[in-house]
A = this chain, B = another copy of it.
């Protein structure tokens, strides 16, 4: 089983962090193919970044389909391009926000999300609604940390995230914490140990859910609205999306 874990930003070091996390939970027969586009933003912290990264992400999924990947993980907490990716993929596609929230709802009645910049909270809010998690998600909390700081400023970053998680644990009436950025994947164990409650990273959650879907023999449904997009002419710098697409 080959799972293509796609970091939709262009930071190779973050892809390495994500790959390490993914591999740490992969089953023996599972191969993690961690990739990131070479086109696009260094980090994803706005609707604009999400919109731009989605195109290169979709190119990666298309390449993955040619290579016969068995599943995809979109390793950015905004789950950018998720439904578009499902349209062009036969294989199942999972977002890490989606995966983390679903998993959290199975081991706790309520959870809080601890994420990066304040402005990304609106993205989480929309996902919480789209995934039907309004009654499971107690609160969305921002730490004010930029995504790329997660790679560099490790100690201060850890203390900030820990402090916000502690507040969540003590004030939000919750049983678990969901980390709101793929770049936090390496912090889970230490956070969990210090906090004394489950801390859920979406990268590992999505890898295991992807294995589960593949194990069930389930692909993205091509009956209905996730069917392959109808072939049509794409012009200019997107002409490569013209048919034949599959």
A49 at interface (Cβ–Cβ under 8 A)?
yes
A81 at interface (Cβ–Cβ under 8 A)?
yes
Q: Are A118 and B173 in contact (CB-based, < 8 A)?
A: yes
Q: A107-B219, A119-B227, A225-B122 are in contact. Are A133 and B130 (CB under 8 A)?
A: no
Q: Are B175 and A200 in contact (CB-based, < 8 A)?
A: no
A67 at interface (Cβ–Cβ under 8 A)?
no
Interface hits, A104-143 → B, CB 8 Å: 105-110, 117-122, 125-126, 129-136
Q: Are B39 and A236 in contact (CB-based, < 8 A)?
A: yes
When the two chains form the complex, which single residue of B25, B45, B169, B232 contacts A43, counting CB atoms closer than 8 Å?
B232
The residue in A98, A109, A118, A213 that gathers the most chain B C-beta atoms within 10 A of its C-beta is: A109
Interface hits, A48-90 → B, CB 8 Å: 48-52, 54-56, 58, 81, 83-84, 86-88
In which size bucket is the chain A interface? 35 or more
List of B residues within 8 angstroms of A51 by Cβ: 51, 54-55, 58, 81, 84
Q: Are B58 and A55 in contact (CB-based, < 8 A)?
A: no
Select from chain B the residue with minimum beta-carbon distance to A189: B217
Q: How far is the CB of A176 from chain B (nearest CB, A)?
A: 5
The 8 closest A-B pairs by CB, nearest first: A132-B132, A39-B236, A175-B224, A197-B223, A175-B221, A208-B212, A46-B229, A47-B84
